[in-house]
Structure 1
Amino acid sequence: MNIREQYEKLEEKILSPLATLSKNSKGRLKAEEKCSIRTDFQRDRDRIIHSKAFRRLKHKTQVFIAPEGDHYRTRLTHTLEVSQIARTISRALRLNEDLTEAIALGHDLGHTPFGHTGEKVLDKITKSGFKHYEQSLRVVDFLEKGTGLNLTHEVRNGILCHSSNLVADTNEGRVVKLADKIAYINHDIDDAVRAGILSFDDLPKECINVLGKGHSDRINTMITSVIDYALKYGQIALEGEVGQATWELREFMFKNVYIGSKAKTEEEKAIKMIETLYDFYINNLEKLPNEFQNKIERWGKERVVCDFIAGMTDRYAINEFLNIYVPSPWGRIF
């Protein structure tokens, strides 16, 4: 047996009945020869990490648009925190940690510049709508490398089902969906306090009494609750007193940070910028990069323009806007 086959045998011995075995994957969109060293899920993880879409996450907004300061989360650091939390849960439950990690690292690849603000704009102005979780799947299926990454069904399904009311086929995918919420609720509190939008005293006392006062205390409480529930009932969920406190804290964040707070002071500018860029490219398709122009016949101009804008980082979108609409000083050498 080669190394991959030996590891697949090891999975059978050490993983829980709740886990997804690598050898039982439903496979890829296009069949390909297996690696002699890595399992299919390990290969998926590596393909995501080495993708350009993954690298661009470091310059995409999490909550705060163009923050002054090096310690605010970006979409990339959010992704890494989700991965850490999801892997902790999966390891404790003896789920497939490689599958969990691949889903977590790929779940936000389709996010737009300026976070959910950009997503809402594209969803509003396009006939077919726009959801970041659907775009994340589109990135790994079609856009990255021009032909997609050809990932396994289980990773693709987990990426698609990490948001909204969708439910993943695997327990690993369900873990990532909860880890996503655990991560952003807690790190967004951290960033909001740093920004002066909240103080720790503002947090609802009834939630803090259950979850804990500190960042790591709250995360540990939530993770422990997910693990305990799964061990007792065989299901991935955040229920009971801890679950109720978590969802109430999430609602508090929506009311006090995500909607209408100082964190959103630049939102109107971002909205106008995305709308303006979309309108420009829809009416000037020849200005799109060749790799996107070549896809118009297959996908239609609206979808291709959405693909191009969604792939932009915050600073790339700003630079495109400046190049198109702001006059350059006379004599400037390009």
Structure 2
Amino acid sequence: MTSAVVFAYHNVGVRCLAVLLAHGVKISLVVSHTDNPDENIWFDSVAKLAKEHDIPVITPDDPNLPETINRISALKPDFLFSFYYRNMLKADILNIPKLGALNMHGSLLPKYRGRVPVNWAIIKGETETGSTLHYMTEKPDNGAIVDQQAIPILPNDTAMEVFHKVTCAAEIALNRCLPDLIRGTAKSTQQDLSKGAYFSGRRAEDGKIDWFNDATTIHNLIRAVAPPYPGAYTTLSGKPMRILRSMVVPQQNAQHTVPFFYCVGEKCFAECGNGSVLRILDFEIDGEPQNAASFIAQFGATPQSLGS
């Protein structure tokens, strides 16, 4: 029976662990994370799934310390898999499995190597992304590709909607190539790293809107950081404001040379750079959800200035 040690977290970790179990892979150990009480835990639990299947779970702060390395070495796994595990694994761990260490990454490598690839793909206006299973090296996301599955990014998809599709893509790719991996017949292709780049992690403050950008650029930021992520933020006449959902309005020209927000009837709009207009579908002011009626009741029909 093929055996594996699995490093996993998040929805991709849950679905890919389920694929391994469905194919009869013996999971000797799952290495995961302890949920951070300060984080919005909107995703499924790898530890819960492992417990249901009587698989031991550990959550070391640093998996590269001798205690974890020695435990994995003693298990003599055929494979090591990493499914949205957040810590980097060093050579002492990657060299343990007999048949290789593989990672599932949330982009179509070599594009969007590094952190939060789904969010970056949306920010950059991509119309396609996906999941890639590749061999791991100490340098992240640069090993040979075993399989990948593409999914579309629609113009108004939020990061969570795309992430759910990427999770399905990960499940499809792993389910397709796993029999060949187990048989030892899986083929791999080296990445052409010149066709992609590394991206860093993102912070809540990176969601600040520059209203002098065009409406499409702003729309891509809004949907890339929409809940459950922190959301895009700005100020409206000096008050804190979060923009949670938007839609680009085609063939409309802004009436002002500086950014303004206003509501007409049941619809709200933001005038952006280059004369472009964004329809605002969901927003908050001072932490309170708003709509066109509540906004007009508070501010009237006069356009209000956006940003600092």
TM-score range, shorter chain: under 0.3
Task: Give the TM-score taking structure 1 as reference length.
Answer: 0.22
Q: Which one has a bigger Cα radius of gyration? A: 2
Q: Which has the higher strand share?
A: 2
Q: Normalization by structure 2: what TM-score?
A: 0.24
Q: Give the structure, 1 or 2, with the largest relative contact order (CA under 8 Å, sep 6 or more).
A: 1
